[in-house]
Amino acid sequence: MKLAAGICFFHSNRSLREMKKSTCSLPLLLLSILCSFFLPYVVRSASPVKSVILLNCGASSDAFDADKRGWSNDSTAPFGPSNSQYSFPAEASNADLSLLASSVPYKTARIFTSAVSYNFTPLSKVRHFVRLHFFPAVYLDRNPSNAFFSVKAGPYTLLSNFSPAITASALNQAYIMREFFVTIPSGSLTLTFTPSQSTSDSFVFINGIEIVSSQELFLSGASTVPTNQIFPIRDSDALQTVVRLNVGGAYVPPTSDSGLFRTWYDDVPFVFAAGLGVSYPRDPNVSIQYSDAFPRYIAPVDVYGTARSMGPTASVNLNYNLTWSIAVDNGFRYLVRLHFCEIQSEVSQVNQRAFNVYMNNVTADPGFDVILYAKSKVQAPLYTGVAVYKDYMVLVPSQSSKQSDLLIDLHPDVDVRPYYADAILNGLEVFKINESSGNLAGPNPDLPPAFPPEKSPTSSSRRQGGGHKLVVAGAAGGVALALVVGACLCCLLCRHQQKKKEKMSGDDGTKWMLSSPYVQERNGKSIVSSAEKSDAFLSNASNAYCRHFTFSEIVAATNNFDEALLLGTGGFGKVYKGEIDSGTKVAIKRGSELSQQGAHEFQNEIEMLSKLRHRHMVSLIGYCEDSSEMILVYEYMAHGTLCEHLYGKKRSPLSWRQRLEICIGAAKGLHYLHTGAKRTLIHRDVKSTNILLDEKWVAKVSDFGLSRMGSEKDDSHVSTVVKGTFGYVDPEYYRLQQLSEKSDVYSFGVVLFEVLSARPALDRSRPTLQVSLAEWALRCLRKGVIEQIVDPFLRGKIATESLRKYAETAERCLADQGTDRPTMANVLWNLEFALSLQTSAEETDEKGMAAGFVDSLDDQIQEALPFAKVKRSDDDINCLTPDTMTSSTSFGGGSSTTMDSEKMHPSAVFSQIMNPNGR
């Protein structure tokens, strides 16, 4: 019987077609066929097996996902749904599958119109991960916005009135995965999906189900905050994963996670404001040591082998917090797990690095020392590389709002006088714990503000009175008049269409028309799709955030494209200031037929910006493609372009701090592009005219018409035709036609020198050696005469060390080879560092004298750490470096996930000084 059950379990993860192709013997093949018929009866009496069930719902055959994991279909697998009369397989339609990291299991779904259950048995009587996958798309002509449903697992309510469409739109994600952790005492798990009764056409859809058994992850209780009591995690407790982050490291796929198939995401999108600190990559010379108290399955080596710390400079670290901000549902308890591992060889003794841990501005763990904690739990000859973790319990009380932010802060504890004023973290997990009723479900998130509905013209009131004859006569006259008017309109429309065709056709007969998805291909020729005749057909993500304007609305908003409202002219066309919805100011970019940028750039801009939301990226409000027009509507940026304030017509004397904050904002936007998705997004046209400033002088990156989706993470570039603006184009990209995110870094380096010098990237009025700003700036740096490129307005106003750090960063950006250039995360951190140096200098001495500035920093360091040793060098005079410290500290950044946790003005980042009660 055990053999039969084992074969049947194998069969549930492998298609019959694959088995027939295999080299198994005929008796074994016959036995497997018999198992397919008698499996429901066999499994009930068979002994439990370790569960690893991957169910591709709605699929007709087994398949592999992008991580090479095999998914069984639920049509022939033993774990198919009950009530099959209410269950229908479906395939996603009207959806952009390119948004998916893997088409399996998201391409197909199982649709339910009534309560339906999946029963999984036999299972081990241990905790199991239950992962539910949802891709909001059109299934069997059903609108995903009508899908509201609940999911129960035994006594636990996992989801209630859940809407995948609302959740995906609010989070700006293409698909949703919800992970739960439940105990199965009976050895059987039943998942019940029930449509909500809120709407008559409500239904359920599910794309994939994972059931993975686990060893016990909660070996001891959690320390409550702030009472520091032990809160036990019972077998009857169910948990939901809120976040699982590889702090300071890259995305860890399920296949690299100790057989538990957990996904560890990059933590950069959750780092509060710009306090990214320093990330440390995996050091092959440091081996990670696990123990009985902290076994290997708790977290993989890729998590403990990387880390994020505050940085090597004490004066900076003492004035900000390393903070992560996690959105959570109010009214629940949360288990916060922090993973620690000292991976720097310099840190191997107690009290070398000690820091305070704060949660929601309350002290959770004062003076935490990773080495000391490891010594109290593990016996080891050397404690560098020893993996440990600690659990905390936080109550987030019920409030009027649905969600709030859970803040996890780290800050050096100077009271215990550690050798390094620093803090470190390797991994972060947050779990929601069920209520006493067994409920884990939270409310659906709020959608972004909707645009007001378009007003329909009111019908004219009918006149009263008149006899029957007058009514008949009036009706007859009206019909006749309508026929005459209709005939005239038909003639006019025919003439208009003919002129439109002539206008859209060139000499060779080719049409100036939008490319896919606005047009379809038939017999090798482009034709207007039915979608274009009504509404432009964009991907789901685009439609979720883009408003479709009619041409008449655009004309009204711009006063018929009044030249007095002209803001500027670019490669795509003219940009006008407009007003919509009775007062909302917008910028309206109208494409020109003579523009070198055309339909592809128009479509690219919509597709790119509709999927991206960030404080430092210009928001796309909508578009118009009526009457062969190509018009984009953006949020209005009151202060125009950065270029105009450096040397343009709106030139205003920006201070050095203002310029630094603008550069930091632009760097944040570009960093989000490079790390906010599984595939890198490359801007390809970074320049000062594409950095806009709003009414509060917040910098935002704009103009994504030339942007390209980057390569997969294991590739270094994509090959493409060179596009961009002369003076900013990466020379390596120009030579090899190989585009990477380092091409954006080069262009941004030119912008940095542009900001410093207040002169354009190319100035043909200057002597030959000074025409190219990049070449001239590098030449001045190598000769040691950097002051020659500084804007005269700034001379004597920049702190020496701030200028040195800024120029060094810009110089590295302009390295000839992309591999020698920093990431945008590096650039961002160094610009923040330059800003902190400038701020400290201004606070110390308004004149920014270099000698007084350095002495003041030394005094601050010695006051906080009187026994620390300071070693100065030409490269980093402010770096707190004991004699035993090496100079190989890495300033690497993160690499993947979606980022938008901006809640603090850049200049305030380093003013968050901790006190014993929190931040």
Give residue 414's region: left, alpha or beta (phi > 0; psi -120 to 50). alpha
What pLDDT score does 283 carry? 87
Give me the pLDDT at residue 634, please. 87
620 with 687, same domain: the answer is no
Residue 139 has pLDDT above 70, yes or no: yes
pLDDT exceeds cutoff 60 at 540:
no
Domain presence at residue 439? no
Tell me the pLDDT band of 678, cut-offs 50, 70 and 90.
low
Q: Between the CA of residue 294 and those of 297, 378, 450, what are the distances in Å? A: 8, 9, 49
Q: Is residue 854 part of a domain?
A: no
Residues 838 and 749 in one domain: yes
Question: Would 369 be classed as within a structural domain?
Answer: yes
Burial of 307: CB neighbours in 10 Å, binned 0-12, 13-18, 19+: buried
Residue 294: pLDDT band by 50, 70, 90 thresholds?
Answer: very high
Asked if residue 378 and residue 300 are part of one domain, the reply reads yes
**What sign does the dihedral 154-155-158-163 (CA atoms) show?**
positive
Domain membership flag for residue 492? no
CATH number at residue 167: 2.60.120.430
Over range 797-811, report the average pLDDT: 94
Q: CATH code at 609?
A: 3.30.200.20
Q: H-helix or E-strand containing 469?
A: helix 468-504
The CATH code of the domain that includes 814 is 1.10.510.10
Check residue 712 and give its pLDDT: 46
Mean pLDDT confidence for 607-630: 78
Number of C-beta neighbours around residue 43 at 10 A: 22
Residues 148, 7 share a domain: no
Q: Where are the alpha helices (DSSP H) in 764-882?
A: 773-783, 800-813, 824-844, 850-864
What's the whole-model pTM score? 0.54
Q: Are residues 265 and 322 in the same domain?
A: yes
Name the DSSP class of 38. Answer: H
| Chosen domain end from 394, 417, 433 | 433
**Mean pLDDT in residue range 125-135:** 95
295 and 197 in a single domain? The answer is no
Residue 165: how many other CB atoms lie within 10 Å: 21
pLDDT band at 78 (very low <50, low <70, confident <90, very high): confident
Say whether both 665 and 795 belong to one domain: yes
Residue 163's domain spans which residues?
A: 51-213
Question: Same domain for 323 and 414?
Answer: yes
Q: Please write the tens of the pLDDT for every residue from 546-588.
A: 788 889 889 999 999 998 888 877 767 788 999 988 788 999 9
272 is a domain residue = yes
pLDDT of residue 864: 43
Point out the domain boundary residue: 433, 467, 487.
433
Q: Is the pLDDT of residue 374 over 70?
A: yes
Among 685, 730, 744, 876, the one annotated catalytic: 685
876 within a domain of the structure (yes/no) = no
Domain boundary among 578, 609, 635: 635
Residue 525 forms part of a structural domain: yes
Question: Is residue 763 annotated as a catalytic residue, yes or no?
Answer: no
Residues 151 and 102 in one domain: yes
Residue 429 has pLDDT above 80, yes or no: yes
- 261 and 399, same domain (yes or no): yes
Q: Is 80 exceeded by the pLDDT of residue 109?
A: yes
Q: 322 and 348 share a domain?
A: yes
Cα dist from 892 to 264, 649, 823, 886, 895, whole Å: 18, 39, 7, 17, 10
What is the mean predicted confidence (pLDDT) over 838-851? 67
Phi-psi region of 100 (alpha: psi -120 to 50; beta: other; left: phi over 0): beta
Q: Please give the structure tokens belonging to residue 728.
A: 């900013």
Do 27 and 112 have their domain in common? no
Q: How many domains does the chain have?
A: 5
pLDDT in tens, 489-511: 555 555 544 444 443 333 333 33
- In a domain? residue 880: no
